Amino acid sequence: MRPDIERPNVFAGPHVDRLKFSRADAETVSLAIADGSARLILVWRSRCPLIRAPLPSAVLLEFGVGPLADIAADELILLGEYGGRAIFTTEIETDEPPPLTDGAEFADLRLAAGLLAHEEAGLLAYARAMVSFRHRHRFCGSCGAPTRPQQAGRMMACTNADCATEFFPRVDPAIIVLVTRDDRILLGRQARWPAGRYSTIAGFVEPGESLEDAVRREVLEETGIVAGTTDYQSSQPWPFPRSLMLGFRAAALSTEILLSDEELEDARWFSRAEIAAGTPLLPFPQSIAYRLIEEWYDEGAARPLAEEAGVRGWGRRR
């Protein structure tokens, strides 16, 4: 295992104490709010509120003020304790965003995460994922009856007494892999991406499949390349809406690229010199895809990727 394996990816890290209120009931929620220190994260159309100046930061609202001063307790989801405060989240379902003060705005977390402090990016990602869970489980998947929140919004229960199925937040495992061969890496692009942007190969793990099998299947399926040895690198929560990206590096046993499943518009082998020169356009700096590329690059380059002036990528890094 590499010595830097503990460096967390964006959105990852134990920033929220999820155990602090692990057995929270209605009384616990009421007491946490009445204390006056609790804060609320609003999510509107999957966007989270931010203030961009003087430094980008998350907006944590006080209870009893703002657009949701009278929000019902069963609309809240208790995330845990952050910075000594009980933190809640809820979704706003309106055509227009609720008004915010002090220059705050609702922003796409995929684009804004690189601007935020690491802990705040992780907190907002957690809120977004829990709101998505709540939104997608309003009705029972077994009998179709409405559900109601339990455990301070962290579980949804079927209201049909004959069913009573309980639903907990689900995470979809997905592999993401940097395929290497000699001094080159394999990157692909989807047609809907900005011109020139390439990234690592990724895909969801299928039932009955190991992570290693998923790596080899996805690489073969999307590029025609046969992958051999696979090594785990790191992971990243990716709440768009509820994935866990499991990062690997794999050695290629073949070099001829064959695009057959129409997932990718193009796939190519790239050298360090090409990447340093700005070809291709790289993924978001806050993504695990970028980290996989960066770590490989730095292992064999005279200068770190972060210091290469010609490198181009999506987004900004703080």
Q: How far apart are CA 222 and CA 189, in angstroms?
A: 10
Q: Give the residue extent of every domain in the chain.
A: 26-136, 172-302
The C-alpha torsion from 293 through 299 and 305 to 307, rounded to 10°, is 170
Residue 318's pLDDT is 36
- Counting residues of the chain whose pLDDT is more than 90, the rounded percentage is 68
State the DSSP H helix or E strand holding residue 283, giving kind and residue range, or none if neither: none
Question: What are the pLDDT digits (tens) for 106-125?
Answer: 999 988 888 899 999 999 99
- Concatenating the DSSP letter of every residue in 85-132 gives EEEEEEEE--SSPPP-STT-EEE-HHHHGGGS-HHHHHHHHHHHHHHH
Helix/strand/coil percent split, the chain, to 5 = 25, 30, 45
The CATH number corresponding to 172-302 among 3.40.50.2020, 3.40.50.1100, 3.60.15.10, 3.90.79.10 equals 3.90.79.10
CATH of span 26-136? 3.90.79
Mean pLDDT value across the chain: 90
Enclosing H/E stretch for 303: none
Question: How far apart (Å, rounded) are the C-alpha atoms in residues 6 and 15?
Answer: 14
pLDDT digits 0-9 by tens, 270-280: 999 999 999 99
**pLDDT exceeds 60 at position 2:** no
Q: Kindly report the pTM of this predicted structure.
A: 0.87
Alpha carbon 221 to its chain's center:
24
pLDDT at 67: 59
pLDDT, tens only, 42-68: 999 999 999 988 889 999 988 876 656
| SS3 (DSSP) at 44 | strand
SS3 21: coil
As a whole number of angstroms, the distance between CA 148 and CA 161 comes to 12
Nearest of 288, 275, 263 to residue 185 by alpha carbon: 275
Encode pLDDT of 121-167 as tens digits: 999 999 999 999 999 999 999 999 999 999 889 999 999 999 999 99
Task: Calculate the alpha carbon distances from 81 to 16, 19, 48, 204 in Å.
Answer: 6, 8, 19, 31
What's residue 3's pLDDT? Answer: 44
Integer Cα distance of 125 and 135 in angstroms: 15
- CATH fold match for the domains 26-136 and 172-302: yes
